[in-house]
């Protein structure tokens, strides 16, 4: 089987009764996608144009929203096309690109959350050094690393597998994620080991770092009422986003290991939650829970209403 041929297509077999409910699926997911775009772009717009929000913490929130937009755009347009198509297929090349985008941007989410945790740690635990440490250059470096490090890690499997022999062209999913490894006749052991290294580097280490910095913050918060108040305002939303995204990533890892045993309808429901909740959760949590952002959001909608 020539995997480089343009005629090689992968069938996405994770859909359930798509012919019967295609228009319902399409309308619901289209509305969700529009809501994701609008809510995240509102945050990016506000943070970009409001000078009072030109602080590292809000810059990282804007980066997180932009990351959510890119993450959703890697999945939703193709998904919407599939709902209206007679066959749910994707070219092998596009499948590898989608796999890369999904895990690259997913990994970036964790590193952006880690950068935000570091910013909160410096702000609450070392307030006098905050302007010196969290300069514009530092913020730029953290943002670049948050996007480049996962990209470098995740690019390896699609490149290594470019000439691998395919034993099946059916994928038990609605887009190309971890289950693509079952397309290949032989999955190199070295690649499996590398996958564990990637998991540790871009997920486990950032999570451990976040919990370490927050432990430091909570120790100081016990002794300082002002720090406790600020921690409640800025750290709680961060932890909610982290825990929810970690749960979805855990599901993605588990479903790859139980590829043949997972019920199809359960797989579909959980997969839709993975690509729906997190991109929507970020702007809702930060927009409602962050006092400064919430204030500017209300102002923006008041202006629109009066016009």
Tokens (6 digits) for 131: 């302007």
Tokens (6 digits) for 184: 């290949």
User: Which pairs count as long-range contacts for 56-59, CB under 8 Å and 24+ apart, including other chains?
Assistant: 56/119, 56/134, 56/138, 56/139, 57/116, 57/119, 57/120, 57/123, 57/234, 58/292, 58/293, 59/139, 59/143
- 8-state DSSP, 183: G
* pLDDT of 298: 64
Q: Say which CATH superfamily domain 9-306 falls into.
A: Rhodopsin 7-helix transmembrane proteins (1.20.1070.10)
**CA dist., res. 183 & res. 181, Å (int):** 5
**Consecutive sets of 10 residues in the chain, 307 residues long: mean pLDDT of each?**
57 88 93 93 86 86 92 95 92 92 93 92 88 93 96 90 83 86 79 86 91 86 73 72 80 65 78 84 71 65 57
Spatial CB neighbours of 196, under 8 Å, sequence gap ≥ 6: none
Instruction: Report the candidate in 33, 72, 58 with the shortest Cα–Cα distance to residue 237.
Output: 58
* pLDDT of 294: 66
* pLDDT of 2: 45
66 CB neighbour count, 10 Å cutoff: 19
- Cβ–Cβ < 8 Å for 297, 46: yes
89-91 and 170-171 as β-strands: parallel, antiparallel, unpaired?
unpaired
**CA dist., res. 251 & res. 272, Å (int):** 12
Listed by start position, the domains of the chain span 9-306
Place of tokens 């530092």: 138
User: If DSSP codes are grouped into helix, strand and coil, which group holds residue 30?
Assistant: helix
- Cβ–Cβ < 8 Å for 31, 193: no
Where do runs of H (alpha helix) occur along 168-263? 189-199, 205-223, 225-257
**CA dist., res. 61 & res. 104, Å (int):** 18
Instruction: Report the candidate in 163, 166, 198, 197 with the shortest Cα–Cα distance to residue 180.
Output: 166
Predicted TM-score of the model (pTM): 0.88
- Cβ–Cβ < 8 Å for 105, 74: yes
* pLDDT of 46: 85
Give 3-state DSSP helix, strand, coil % of the chain, rounded to 5: 80, 5, 15
* pLDDT of 287: 65
């Amino acid at each position: 089987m020539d995997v480089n041929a343009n005629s090689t297509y992968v069938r996405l077999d994770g859909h359930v009764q798509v012919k019967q409910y295609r228009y319902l699926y399409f309308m619901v997911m289209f509305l969700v996608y529009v809501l994701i775009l609008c809510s995240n772009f509102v945050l990016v717009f506000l943070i970009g144009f409001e000078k009072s929000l030109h602080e590292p913490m809000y810059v990282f929130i804007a980066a997180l929203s932009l990351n959510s937009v890119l993450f959703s755009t890697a999945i939703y347009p193709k998904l919407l096309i599939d709902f209206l198509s007679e066959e749910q297929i994707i070219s092998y090349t596009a499948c590898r690109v989608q796999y890369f985008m999904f895990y690259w941007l997913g990994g970036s989410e964790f590193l952006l959350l880690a950068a935000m945790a570091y910013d909160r740690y410096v702000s609450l635990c070392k307030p006098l050094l905050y302007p010196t440490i969290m300069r514009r250059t530092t913020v730029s470096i953290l943002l670049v690393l948050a996007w480049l490090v996962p990209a470098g890690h995740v690019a390896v499997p699609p490149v290594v597998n470019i000439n691998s022999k395919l034993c099946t062209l059916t994928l038990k999913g609605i887009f190309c994620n971890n289950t693509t490894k079952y397309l290949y006749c032989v999955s190199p052991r070295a690649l499996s080991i590398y996958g564990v290294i990637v998991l540790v580097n871009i997920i486990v280490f950032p999570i451990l770092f976040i919990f370490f910095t927050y432990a430091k913050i909570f120790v100081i918060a016990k002794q300082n009422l002002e720090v406790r108040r600020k921690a409640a305002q800025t750290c709680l939303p961060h932890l909610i986003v982290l825990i929810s995204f970690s749960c979805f990533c855990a599901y993605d890892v588990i479903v790859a290991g139980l590829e043949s045993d997972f019920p199809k309808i359960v797989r579909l429901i959980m997969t839709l939650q993975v690509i729906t909740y997190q991109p929507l959760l970020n702007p809702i949590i930060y927009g409602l829970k962050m006092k400064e952002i919430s204030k500017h959001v209300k102002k923006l909608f008041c202006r629109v209403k009066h016009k």
